Amino acid sequence: MAHRETQRSHTTARISRIVMFIMHWILIMFTQPRPIFGGNIHITGLFPISRDIRDGNIGRGVLPALNLAVDILNDPKGREQKTILQGHRLVMSENDTQCKMAVGMQAFFESLGSGPPKFMIFGGACPSVTTPIAESVHFWNIVQLSYADTTPRPRQKKDGEAEKDLYPNFFSTVPSENDIGAARIKLFQRFNWTKAATIHQNTPRFSLAQTTQVNLAVERGINITVKADFAYDPLEAVQKINSSNARIIMGFFDEDMARKVFCHVYHQKLYGRTYVWLLPGWYSHRWWTRPDNSTTCTPQQLFIALKGYIGTDILPLSTRSEKTISGWTPAEYEALYNAERGTEYSVFHGYAYDGVWVMAKALDRVLRILKDQNDEESFWKFDYKNSKIANLLMQAMNETNFMGVTGPVQFRGGERLGCTMHKQLQDDVEVKVAEYYAVTDSLNLTENQFWWEGGEPPRDEIEVIEQFLTVSSVTFILTASIAFAGILMSIGFLIFNMKHRNQRYIKMSSPFLNNLIILGGILTYFSVFLLGMDRGTMGPTVSLANICKARAWCLCIGFTLAFGAMFSKTWRVHRIFTNVRMKRKVIKDHQLFAIVGFLLVVDLVILVTWEIVDSLQDDVKEIFKETSNRPEELDVLYIYKLAVCESRNTMIWLAIIYAYKGVLLIFGLFLAWETRHVSIPALNDSKYIGMSVYNITIMCCLGVSLSFVIQDNPAASHGLVSIFILFCATITLTLVFVPKVVELRINPHANERIRVVGGLDKGRPSPGNAASITSSAKVRIIAEENTDLRKKLVESDKKVKELEDELFKLVPEEAPLLLRLDSDSDVPTHSLSRENGGAKPIDLSPNSVHYHPSTTSIPSSQLETKIPNPDYSEETEGPPEEEMYENYGGVWLGPPGAADKPEEPDIFNFDYPCDLNQNGTMQQDSVAEVHRTYDDKAPLRTPDSSPIRCVMEIPQSPYEIPSFLLNYTN
Tens-place pLDDT, residues 97-121: 999 999 999 999 898 888 888 999 9
Work out the average pLDDT over 577-594: 69
pLDDT band at residue 683 using 50, 70 and 90 as cut-offs: low
Residues paired with 949 in a beta bridge: 913
Q: How many CB atoms are located within 10 Å of the residue 250 CB?
A: 27
- pLDDT (tens digit per residue) in 314-365: 888 988 888 999 889 999 999 999 999 888 999 899 999 999 999 999 999 9
What does each C-alpha distance from 746 to 160, 332, 740, 742, 749 come to in angstroms? 106, 114, 10, 6, 9
pLDDT band at 11 (very low <50, low <70, confident <90, very high): low
Per-residue b or e along 579-611, where b marks 16 or more CB atoms closer than 10 Å to that residue's CB? beebebbbbebeebbebbeebbeebeebbeebe
Mean pLDDT of 437-466: 84
Q: Does the pLDDT at position 144 exceed 90?
A: yes
Q: What is the pLDDT of residue 916?
A: 39
Helix (H) or strand (E) holding 184: helix 177-190
| CA 774 to chain CA centroid, nearest Å | 64
Per DSSP, the three-state class of 90 is strand
CA angle (794, 797, 801) in 5-degree steps: 140
R_g of the chain computed on alpha carbons:
57
Report the pLDDT value the prediction gives residue 68, as an integer from 0 to 100: 92
Q: Which of left, alpha, beta for 448 (phi over 0: left; psi -120 to 50: alpha)?
A: beta
Task: Specify which residues 165 forms β-bridges with.
Answer: 156
Q: What percent of the chain has pLDDT over 70?
A: 71
Distance CA 7, CA 13 (A): 10
Lowest-confidence region among 418-427, 715-724, 778-787, 866-875:
866-875
* Total-model pTM: 0.54
Task: State the average pLDDT for the chain.
Answer: 75
Q: Is 385 buried (19+), middle (13-18) or exposed (0-12) by CB count in 10 A?
A: exposed
CA distances from 79 to 71, 350, 376, 653 (A): 12, 20, 27, 97
The more confidently predicted of residues 522 and 717 is 522
Which range among 92-96, 499-503, 804-808 has the greatest average pLDDT?
92-96
Cα–chain-centroid distance for residue 455?
34
Closest CA to 843 of 947, 951, 962: 951
| H helix or E strand, kind and range, residue 201 | strand 195-201
pLDDT (average), residues 792-819? 78
Q: What is the pLDDT of residue 852?
A: 39
Helices (H), 348-405: 349-372, 376-380, 387-398
Residue 887: which pLDDT band, with cuts at 50, 70 and 90? very low
Does position 242 have pLDDT exceeding 80, yes or no? yes
- pLDDT tens figures, 612-663: 888 888 777 777 777 776 766 667 788 888 777 778 888 888 888 888 888 8
Q: Tell me: the pLDDT tens digits for 48-90?
A: 999 888 888 899 999 999 999 998 888 755 444 467 888 888 9
Contacts of 319 (CB under 8 A, 6+ apart): 330, 435
Mean pLDDT in residue range 766-782: 52
For the stretch 189-233, pLDDT in tens is 999 999 999 999 998 888 888 998 999 999 999 999 999 999 989
